[in-house]
Structure 1
């Protein structure tokens, strides 16, 4: 899990910002790790698919598949596999272009281009058989071909409106995937569907040794399904669907199922503190250097990254030795960076002071409110006592009146 946290951050920091989610900050506190990314107002591909029960029109599916392929290939080019390719993780920016997200299942490829993992990751409908087989046999490994299988499953859903191995239970879905040669078939109605689409899907839902993508990006660029696609200018074309949004924080393009943030805040799941309580000293060391700040001017600003040693411009090993003997650190810092740090420190101090003042005001207001609540509670108790006394007096009078009436009657 530590490896996945680290690799998710590394992909976001070093990935092609044109195709993957833009990371602005990474940091941690005593309980959680945080990744602050752009919000993509266009929603995700799954939400868009829900508006097309029978699948996208062919031209729409082809465009999105081309962009998905470019996004996945950009991750592979970094030396990673994604392992959770699905419509939910394909976000749409305000222009309608694809942006790949959720790198929590990423793994770095070894020198032979494979990984070994016996932990279940990904989403059942889109998992490749080699990932499932590796769960049973820990000696098995797999590579980028698992992501291309997932692209094939997504393509099937985009053309036909449902995943190729859908079943009522996860076990049934896994069974169909493992025995895909017996269960993989196309719907009987194939009207208006180009034959190249069937060939493309079949070339991905197949044995890993012959799967499309093994030869790299050119396997897709030369496929007849994408004959009309200008791969170099994909981002310059107008997408087939332009999201409608009212402002930069509109969520209407997402099908929000649950509030996962609320679950996290109210104590759901394991935290860093939980791990630390039962682990040896130094459990948090894997997260040293996790913090990151994106800089628009292109300069490295990765705190704790070994490449720039916390952004300190150390000239040589001899400089480091001088510093260890007490020489002034400021003389070894880039002047512009030093000024930046001082400004940032001043801003933090001012923010802290402002927050302290606000807390003091809130505490005073809270004490005043508590006092008023206490007085109201006392007044309420007195009123309840008076009401009870009046009710008792009323009952006594009614009883006396009844007794007088009885005496007159007799």
Structure 2
């Protein structure tokens, strides 16, 4: 029997609605929303406390369509729960995020402006994600085009992502606490993959025909994801490959002897050409919209909320820390993990992303 679980959530607030709700007058704030949370996994019988710092946009924020709350267990806090069990310690998950922020905003106004969070002597893990909004904004712009297609909006998003990811890694390397054991970048899933299986309104200058938007966007996303993982390899970071985790099934659907989600992963040291060909051609038939993530041939879970963008999550919410920070403490949901996985590791988008980050966790703090 096919099983699909969707968290009941609100839909994405359009950018033009946010200023009225928030009372912000500046254009810069029209489509961004600070969501800062510090949640501590309080493990019984422990005395040591360490910190995970996560910078990013709405993905790490645990955005759920609300301006007042966010998922308690977004990916960074899921990872903190794994760390708590691994290290037998309390783990503080610090999320410094801005929903709607493009890569340069995350870099300048979160990673750089709020560097003090990763400089605390308790910090052991620093992770970040960015570029999703660069891609979403470019896609929206492209979808609105008529006449001759202008692909420069996609190129600009790709170039901006590349520049800011590299800058973020360099800055974290130079400024994070010297005792940090792990640095991780999370790459991009493809929200709306199925919805993009349609023709553009604009026409290609060479062929004079419309283009399938999925065919145009997938190579751009593949190059961005390759860049994140390959830059991570060069700069001492690990790369949590969310594209593979979200877009590939957890069984071998094409009979090539590999589980789809494993086969789609970035391979350390491979060339961009090899990776892009594998994603856009060789294994293209195994890519599925993350609204239906198959964990077996007959069972699936919904990794994407009803806005067709943000990951689903388990559990309750916390205040979103709109004007300052929200802090809280709670016992872990799970205290032991069979095979390094909690019982719902593959049932929700945030659980899967948090588990992907956790696979790099060092054995000791």
Shorter-chain TM band: under 0.3
Q: Which has the larger radius of gyration?
A: 1
Higher normalized contact order (CA 8 Å, seq sep 6+, divided by chain length): 2
TM-score, normalising length: structure 2: 0.27
Higher strand share: 2
- The structure with the largest helix share of the pair is 1
